[in-house]
Structure 1
């Protein structure tokens, strides 16, 4: 068996980047990989279980659950874009990645994140219509319309992110191709450019704060209107029921947007924060939500929880 150092690639190859993993914590890579892999597997299991149950149950073929499927797919996409390569670094010291592979990873990672943001906006709109206009819900939000909104969100994500790898592919990179990270992130690649990367940095910042800031504003507006409508409900039972339908969505959105903006701001402007803290925070953004989202919805959505428990019990009974 080859020793671990034999997997290392030199930085002399201009078509190859070197991902270092977590700088300063190389000796602990094996230990760090344990929670990484556990959280990743739990997230995959939860999201695939959610997709399986919703796909099997005809009673769950509704707009809200179609949106949950979209969220599960984006969760799988974001975590899978990051974790397998990180584990290859942690376990086998496979640090090399081609320039094309790096740009491809960056594109999918950011595109899926933008797509996820669009899904969260649509979910907020879904809850707004369900609570503020319940009588017209079935006509406004149909499965076909939700599918069309999903396609629009996908097109928007591709059009917004595609310029990033295209602009970077035209940049000359310095001789030192070492990226102090576990994955290819846009700002990390822009910093390695020997040319003028002002356009890349500006465009990346605009995408992060204009597109996602716009999405967050729409989410805030939707829930502001929901809260106003709920406060006007005189019945305490109806009041509580309306709030319960939003709790899971609010938890997921707060977690997703907070982690994203905190990670982005510390990576760009937190020069006093040590690099390994930056990188761990960035990885947590792609690890924690995919693990917690199916748990939150499984616990807070009674109809979905009952169906999941039914399948788990059936599987247990069949094994007896």
Structure 2
């Protein structure tokens, strides 16, 4: 395939196809996607507002929840508006630099979300296994430092993706057969050796994803062991319910993410529509479910939202 000349190593724009194979259904698929995005926006903004105005919620669990809500807002807003434009208005073109910016935000905040879920698992472990030392071990300053570290980790690991892609010549093909710009999808349009980029992607996936999964798994194993030793049946049931909701959130992020990561590299026989739908689910479902699961099941947040709503109505 021909490449762009030396004065233009990259095309001025790419073309996002949306969901290949489901072009006729995209208009209707956009409605549930839009509804989920609306829930994600309202739910996460509400959680951020409640935690901001209520100083009694300035504790580790709620600060981590605020970080998660902010991350979910960025993740969903970096993809959904453009995706809806493709589905409803056929606005398939995306500027080259806008594509790289979208790629950066998607991968950076996916890493941040994974890191926050890991930190929340550690928080639950300390709260259940060392309740009397919880505020000492996880002080506000430690929580802030963990949040900054998770953010820096995402930025430092993901930034090279953009720089490594920018230095490569692109083929004349501008078509990205999915709904947003993702590292491997953009890399497939490069007319040069991309082994270094692919190896770096695997290294990042291992050191970020695998590390977080191991810490989360070990934390919840130790949590469950501690819960089983609780003398009260009601206490065990309540702890199990909390752990189950947290595990559901974690699975909703990691299962689609793992499927998307593996199918890009090894799933050559997987239908394109299936791959793209999972990729969309990976970025949309967690931001939608997180405020529902954490907000509705967390009594302090639920009561604060109800009280605020009742005051406005009265």
8 Å contact from structure 1 (residues 63, 143) kept in 2: yes
C-alpha deviations, 1:181-217, integer Å up to 9, x for none? 1110111111111100111111112222331011000
Structure 1 counterpart of 2:128, from 127, 131, 153: 131
Aligned residue in 1 for 2:205: 208
Distance, in Å, in 2 between the alignment partners of 1:307 and 1:169 is 47
**1:278 pairs with 2:275:** yes
Match of 1:215, SS? helix
Match of 1:26, SS? coil
Structure 2 counterpart of 1:35, from 32, 35, 41: 32
Structure 2 counterpart of 1:160, from 157, 161, 174: 157
**1:307 pairs with 2:308:** no
8 Å contact from structure 1 (residues 247, 300) kept in 2: no
Aligned residue in 2 for 1:289: 286
C-alpha deviations, 1:104-146, integer Å up to 9, x for none? 1101110000011110111001001001111111111112211
**1:238 pairs with 2:235:** yes
1:165-204 matches, cutoff 5 A: 165-204=162-201
Aligned residue in 2 for 1:8: none
Distance apart, 1:312 and its partner CA: 2.4
Aligned residue in 2 for 1:72: 69
Match of 2:81, SS? helix
Distance, in Å, in 2 between the alignment partners of 1:254 and 1:29 is 26
Aligned residue in 1 for 2:99: 102
Distance apart, 1:36 and its partner CA: 1.2
Aligned residue in 2 for 1:86: 83
8 Å contact from structure 1 (residues 40, 83) kept in 2: yes
Taking structure 1 as the reference length, what is the TM-score of the superposition?
0.91
Distance, in Å, in 2 between the alignment partners of 1:60 and 1:248 is 20
Aligned residue in 2 for 1:261: 258
Distance apart, 1:259 and its partner CA: 2.2
8 Å contact from structure 1 (residues 18, 97) kept in 2: yes
Structure 1, 200-209 or 145-154: larger mean CA deviation:
200-209
Distance, in Å, in 2 between the alignment partners of 1:242 and 1:276 is 39
8 Å contact from structure 1 (residues 230, 239) kept in 2: yes
Distance, in Å, in 1 between the alignment partners of 2:237 and 2:36 is 33
Taking structure 2 as the reference length, what is the TM-score of the superposition?
0.93
Distance, in Å, in 2 between the alignment partners of 1:182 and 1:244 is 35
C-alpha deviations, 1:212-238, integer Å up to 9, x for none? 011000000111111111222233233
Distance apart, 1:43 and its partner CA: 0.9
Unaligned runs of 5+ in 1: 1-12
Distance apart, 1:166 and its partner CA: 0.6
Unaligned runs of 5+ in 2: 1-9
Distance apart, 1:265 and its partner CA: 2.0
Q: May I ask how many residue pairs the two structures share in their alignment?
A: 305
C-alpha deviations, 1:265-305, integer Å up to 9, x for none? 23332222211111111011111111111111123222221
